[in-house]
A and B are shown apart, each in its own frame.
Chain A
Amino acid sequence: DAGVIQSPRHEVTEMGQEVTLRCKPISGHNSLFWYRQTMMRGLELLIYFNNNVPIDDSGMPEDRFSAKMPNASFSTLKIQPSEPRDSAVYFCASTLQNRENTGELFFGEGSRLTVL
């Protein structure tokens, strides 16, 4: 398996524009996570899906952020409209888990977003 695949790797956009980040989890994994990483706040969990269903989106900063997982092999994180404070590295991660246990969390390479 190629691992968790994210695109784009880098995105530079202007304030107010829509940004869409994409993720393909590892085949067979049933849980997918979106994290945001900044120097100030570290790794923050934005949202996670289990079997394509959003379980906890309490980390999503505000209504400008939305995430979807239409099927087991694809997820998107959208920011509309984007703001300079959204500049960060966004990681997607996946794993196989159940209620009692979890496996290793595999991260993608990340998408570095810069909003001017």
Chain B
Amino acid sequence: GENVEQHPSTLSVQEGDSAVIKCTYSDSASNYFPWYKQELGKRPQLIIDIRSNVGEKKDQRIAVTLNKTAKHFSLHITETQPEDSAVYFCAAYSGAGSYQLTFGKGTKLSVIP
């Protein structure tokens, strides 16, 4: 089955700096890679996703890049703000025989004002 590794597990940045979270996956058939943000005590919510036919996708201050050859994808947050503080989860979806999302372990991002 799919295996998703996520790094780092914790990340502290100064407000205004950039944050990068990286994930690798094992199943070359995976074709959908969402990122979820979970604020303290809340449910995970989708913030951005990318499908395997594109290499990069941007939405204001967040962007995701995908390298299918190397089987890794990354989340980039620029001009970080205190409200970006949360746990971020990457995930990979493989439709080949096991149509379910496999999540990484999460990255706790702290943005220091």
Contacts and interface: CB of A to CB of B under 8 A. Distances in A.
Contact of A105 (B31, B34, B104, B106): B34
On chain A, which size bracket covers the interface?
20 to 34
Contacts of B44: 43, 91, 107
Nearest to A104: B46
A43 B102 CA distance: 9
A109 interface: yes
Contact of B95 (A56, A91, A100, A108): A100
A109 to B, nearest CB: 6
Interface in A83-110: 91, 97-102, 104-105, 107-110
* Main SS class of interface, B: strand
Interface string B43-86: 11110010000000000000000000000000000000000000
A52 to B, nearest CB: 15
Given A91-B44, A107-B43, A110-B43, A99 B100 contact: no
Most chain A beta-carbon neighbours within 10 Å: one of B34, B42, B46, B100: B100
A108 B49 CA distance: 19
A115 interface: no
A26 to B, nearest CB: 13
Given A42-B106, A43-B89, A43-B106, A102 B46 contact: no
B34 A109 contact: no
Interface in A6-53: 31, 33, 42-43, 45, 48, 50
Interface in A38-75: 42-43, 45, 48, 50, 55-56
B25 interface: no
A7 to B, nearest CB: 14
11 contacts: A33-B101, A42-B89, A42-B103, A45-B102, A45-B103, A97-B99, A99-B95, A100-B95, A102-B95, A107-B45, A109-B42
Interface of B: 31-32, 34, 36, 42-46, 49, 89, 91, 93, 95, 98-106
